[in-house]
Amino acid sequence: MLNNTNNTNNINNINNTIFNVIISDLIKRDYQNAINNINKLTKTEIEKYENENKETLLIIACYLRAERIIDILLEKTDDEYINRISKNNISAFGVCCDKNIENIAIKIFRRTKSEIINLEGVEKTKGKTPLYMASKRNMVNLIKEMLESGKIDDKIYKYKTDKNYSIGYWMYNYNMEEYIKKIDFDREIINSVIENNNTIIIQSIKNRNYKLCSDLIDKTDEDTINIRDEEGLTVFDYAVKYRNSELMKRLKDKIKPQTNNIKILCNNKKKKMLREYINKIDKEDIKENNLLIHRLCEKNMEESVILLIEKISREEINKLDERNNSVLYYAIKNKMINFIKEIINKIDKDMIKREYNGKKLYEMCVENQLFEIAYLIMKKIN
């Protein structure tokens, strides 16, 4: 009995040595030597081997993207072997999806059981099913087979990772309209806030997927629509930035006016909508030091900036912007006569006395034939 045990251990040690050589060859991409060694092994020996993480040679080959070796192992082994999983709930099929080996993944998928196809990972891979990874890698041919197979559990469409990424996020990211319609993701997925304050609707418009973005508007909650991403922009801001009038119209009643929205509208010279937003915005929403009035004057938005006067503090009117220019400087430069008349009494004397490129403000008025304004300035100084 002891001799038999020793013999078994010796055989296992010999086999483990061969597997270590094979794995070393795979790492070095010496595929021919790996094939020669695999051919020395029986089907039973191949199926018996696993490392300390319960990874089979097939799983290891998938991690190393060794397609020739994977094909040989698929020929030599049965479905039960292919469906084995590691300690972390990872199957050969899941690894192929993660490593973007689509042609091999399709072959393995056809021999994989439903319970393996729907496996969710653990710890760092929680929420990352094979379909999630296939969606992340934009493996559309595999996704088509998976969705048409009837093997996918409905619940996996609701899975999210620790950073709120989901199958839905990636399908919208890659404009997979055909598959999105088949799945019909629920509102919880649609309204998930991803890392960096990103959302599915913001990502769709950033990718210029305007049709999908339009479809998302009614499915997206108002709070989500008003989220600013890491660049400080909402989906509405991107619609303005990309000059998509259709989306702007659909979004405008869902947006809570913010100073940032007004700046975006100002930069893109959307005068009518700009006036609407200034009327809606509350005085407390306009924070100090935002230089909003400077931007409106710089862009020559006279009607809009007149609406804003009562919501802007005297201190804000008398600030200099990052280029050391005043509100009055921009207003004179753009001949904003009515605006200047409205604010002249709110401008401090020191601000009126400033020079720009060696010229006083009243001299600029004379050059621009703004004689009435020049008189008001001189009167204020004296």
Q: List, for residues 71-90, the tens digit of each pLDDT value.
A: 999 999 999 999 999 988 89
Structurally, the chain folds into a number of domains equal to 1
Domain membership of residue 243 (yes or no) is no
Q: How confident is the model at residue 31 (pLDDT cuts 50, 70, 90)?
A: very high
- Whether the pLDDT of residue 135 is over 50: the answer is yes
215: its two tokens: 């479809």
Q: How far is CA 367 from CA 212, 374, 381, in A?
A: 52, 10, 19
- Whether the pLDDT of residue 6 is over 70: the answer is no
Domain membership of residue 284 (yes or no) is yes
Domain membership of residue 291 (yes or no) is yes
**Residue 167: predicted pLDDT:** 97
Q: How confident is the model at residue 287 (pLDDT cuts 50, 70, 90)?
A: low
**Residue 9: predicted pLDDT:** 43
192 vs 285, more confident: 192
**Residue 5: predicted pLDDT:** 43
Distance separating alpha carbons of residues 198 and 194, to the nearest angstrom: 5
**Residue 252: predicted pLDDT:** 84
**Residue 7: predicted pLDDT:** 40
Distance separating alpha carbons of residues 109 and 92, to the nearest angstrom: 9
70 vs 257, more confident: 70
Q: How confident is the model at residue 300 (pLDDT cuts 50, 70, 90)?
A: very high
Lowest mean pLDDT among 72-76, 124-128, 358-362: 124-128
**Residue 141: predicted pLDDT:** 97
Average pLDDT over residues 33-43: 94
Domain CATH for 378: 1.25.40
Lowest mean pLDDT among 7-21, 29-43, 334-348: 7-21
Quote the distance between the C-alpha of residue 228 and its chain's center: 12
Average pLDDT over residues 91-100: 95
Angle at 36 between CA 32 and CA 38, to 5 degrees: 115
Percent above pLDDT 90 for the chain:
66
Domain membership of residue 239 (yes or no) is no
* Cβ neighbours around 214 below 10 Å, total: 18
- Whether the pLDDT of residue 11 is over 50: the answer is no
Q: List, for residues 206-248, the tens digit of each pLDDT value.
A: 999 999 999 999 999 999 999 999 988 899 999 988 989 899 8
Domain membership of residue 180 (yes or no) is no
269 vs 158, more confident: 158
**Residue 12: predicted pLDDT:** 47
- Whether the pLDDT of residue 289 is over 70: the answer is no
Domain membership of residue 266 (yes or no) is yes
Q: How confident is the model at residue 262 (pLDDT cuts 50, 70, 90)?
A: confident
Percent above pLDDT 70 for the chain:
95
224: its two tokens: 């989500």
Residue type, 343: I
96 Cβ contact partners less than 8 Å away, ≥ 6 residues apart: 62, 70, 102, 104, 105, 108
Range of the domain at 291: 257-382
Domain membership of residue 341 (yes or no) is yes
